[in-house]
Chains A and B, each alone.
Chain A
């Protein structure tokens, strides 16, 4: 009996030791395969959270990229946050950890334009969160010329817009203290396993749902809420003379014959565009540029060589097309302004 207890104890000890060794080995693997680091609360309120200063980000799960966040926890290569001409806001599409550091919209805009662009794109920051944070972002960075806001949805939820307008839209929490923080930071493999098991439990329900497919009725009430929402977005900029550009990057797909399908709800698009115009917001629809990318270069703006074609985050081609389009829009605006000044 005693011998059995001793053997049992010894075996549990072996399991413990091998478990620790295995976690260490898996952590090393995760550092290369897919390491995201830890979100920490952004005290400035420009975003709900940011990454830790100088945080390494590695991914081989969706695209291949190994990069480092700047000293303020955002994905920027050479621009400091002190002088900002153009502030770029958006979701993980702008955070762009799936492409090389020199291939994202923020970096490319810096190369294409003389102005300094600062990118505060952050995962999980939908248009609702960005509009909620707009005032703080403008106060923090004081962009001198433009704020660019990325969105992949133009058919918006009335409920969420109302919450943003009423300043009741919840901030996304970040687990930057206590044991959860320590586990995420020190044991990245545990975080990765936890996330995968969560996805597994929900069996794909965590995948991005295209909001454009939601049943939204464009009543007068919807139009009014959208108007208020966009007014809220542009309000912090009105006294500064800074212009707001919202660009819509749609997910285009291909049908069985290889033809392009545009799933954008045209009614929503027109409504969004006209409401932007009404509020002095420059609206840029990337759909046509994405279509040309496919028709001329046989490339889709989303997807990577290790994921589904045309799905997920923007790839280097998508970032390039967007940067070129935004640069051209800004240059045209500047030219128009000059022409206007000349005429006066």
Chain B
């Protein structure tokens, strides 16, 4: 049950009412209210997961137990035992991810190299596994590095990993960001509710009006790229760059919004990514929780840029390939990661030259084009499909012409939103404004009217066919 399923709404309203009731009944016993609220949230998170497949809950439960147990062992020991526990804990978590997500891919690849065949094992891919496993690994490493203490309360650890707003598509929460929020009772407050519901509705609009409409066109063209003329294939490639942005940032907004309503803060996952001046900059603005995870828990432990140029390039390539692989078990993701690694290395090499032209508009356009071309590989069903699309983009040929109007509309929304965010950031001298959220004061008629209109437009213009979240597959 995702944010775009109709059934999600009555159930979540019910959850909200239950939490509000708890808040009212135990207004003089905050500790009790805190525990009950966490238990209710945990139960609801598991219910959401089990709605898809009850087995997913089993996998998440195993991850919670492993994480809790090893974090406590790490915290209670020193020196060698601490290292051994960390290693075993991380390896176990990686193994869980590996078995469910990569077993068939690696086994097939290895068998084809050695000339034998592999009969694919029918194995489930638990929803959100890549997100919560990475959260769990970061938690173990933070405890190991003594950045934080292990939480002694298993309910807190369970809720940190299972918290339903971020379960399907992240962001990847770090223990040190979220677990402290579970130490005290998080009340549902009017101010947070007003802000959260508006962020949620903006996310909903991005998803059902923009991303899902764009997806119709992208799916058509990527299914049969040779049937379309050159202009249409190029438009489809650029449209995918919009679709994936609106889809993923839409989900993130909805997750942030719901969390805020419930009294929790989830970090933002985007910072105007298509204003990036180079590919390295792009990774500071796109899926920030993943790129910061790789930076902190892989790139820097590997030596980062402190061990010479060659080692820096190797580290960058390695991180980006693993980042590609994180998205899915397939060659398209590996190649996509490789190219991003390559462009990161090029950027590192020419950084001095780049610095002089940091604000060049041309750099933004070129980066956007490069990122879009790489999205083609990411989106394609196979490398063959990717090559077909790329070939169709770069050879003049006839075919079906489809000047998809939603693509142009989405560009207008993106440009207007970006300009407004940039303006807001400029006016307030705050460089961290990461998107345009015209949050209204819901105590005024004007604010309420705008909010109701946005809600109405989302439903009137929305696409409510069979859809999915792109990052939900990872």
Q: Enumerate chain A interface residues (CB-CB to B < 8 A).
A: 11, 14-15, 17-19, 21-23, 25-26, 29-30, 33-34, 64, 189, 192-193, 196-197, 199-201, 203-204, 207, 254-258, 294, 298-300, 305-309
Contacts and interface: CB of A to CB of B under 8 A. Distances in A.
A35 B456 CA distance: 15
Given A14-B445, A18-B448, A25-B453, A204 B402 contact: no
A230 B153 CA distance: 74
Interface of chain A, helix or strand or loop or mixed?
Answer: helix
Contacts, number: 103
Given A18-B448, A19-B452, A29-B457, 20 more contacts: A14-B444, A18-B452, A19-B448, A26-B453, A26-B460, A30-B460, A189-B456, A192-B460, A196-B459, A196-B462, A197-B459, A199-B465, A200-B464, A201-B6, A203-B466, A255-B224, A258-B227, A258-B399, A298-B399, A299-B400
Contact of B461 (A33, A197, A203, A254): A33
Across the A-B interface, the 4 shortest Cβ-Cβ residue pairs:
A258-B227, A22-B452, A18-B448, A200-B464
Contacts of B5: 203
A298 B457 contact: no
Nearest to B447: A18
Nearest to B446: A18
B360 interface: no
Given A258-B226, A306-B404, A306-B405, A22 B399 contact: no
14 contacts: A14-B448, A21-B445, A23-B456, A33-B461, A192-B460, A193-B460, A197-B6, A199-B464, A203-B6, A203-B466, A294-B400, A305-B405, A309-B400, A309-B402
A255 B453 CA distance: 41
B346 interface: no
Interface string B396-418: 00111111111000000000000
B448 A15 contact: yes
Interface centre among A21, A192, A200, A255 (most CB of B within 10 A): A200
Contacts of A33: 460-461
Nearest to B466: A204
Interface of chain B, helix or strand or loop or mixed?
Answer: helix
B449 A21 contact: yes
B443 interface: yes
Contacts of B443: 11, 14
Interface of B: 5-6, 213, 216-217, 220, 223-224, 226-227, 229, 398-406, 443-449, 451-453, 456-457, 459-462, 464-466
A17 B460 contact: no
A200 to B, nearest CB: 4
Contacts of A306: 213, 404-406
Contacts of A21: 445, 449
Contacts of A308: 216-217, 220
B223 A300 contact: no
A26 B451 CA distance: 12
Contacts of A64: 405
A256 B452 contact: no
A280 B404 CA distance: 44
A308 B403 CA distance: 12
A191 B411 CA distance: 29
Contact of B445 (A17, A30, A203, A299): A17
A33 to B, nearest CB: 7
B459 A193 contact: yes
Given A258-B399, A298-B400, A308-B216, A193 B456 contact: yes
Nearest to B5: A203
A26 B226 contact: no
B224 A256 contact: yes
Contact of B404 (A17, A34, A305): A305
A305 B402 contact: yes
B216 A200 contact: no
Nearest to A188: B460
Nearest to B7: A201
Contact of B456 (A26, A200, A255, A307): A26
A307 B447 CA distance: 33
Contacts of A14: 443-445, 448
A64 B403 CA distance: 13
A110 B6 CA distance: 46
A225 B447 CA distance: 62
B448 A26 contact: no
Contacts of A299: 400
Contact of A254 (B224, B404, B456): B224
Contacts of A255: 224
B449 A29 contact: no
A195 to B, nearest CB: 9
Contact of A258 (B216, B224, B462): B224
A192 B404 CA distance: 23
B59 to A, nearest CB: 26
Contacts of A307: 216
A196 B461 CA distance: 9
Contacts of B449: 18, 21-22, 25
A193 B457 CA distance: 9
A68 to B, nearest CB: 22
Given A18-B449, A203-B466, A26 B6 contact: no
A33 B405 CA distance: 14
A196 B445 contact: no
Contact of B6 (A25, A200, A298, A305): A200
A299 to B, nearest CB: 7
B449 to A, nearest CB: 4
Nearest to B405: A306
A188 B76 CA distance: 66
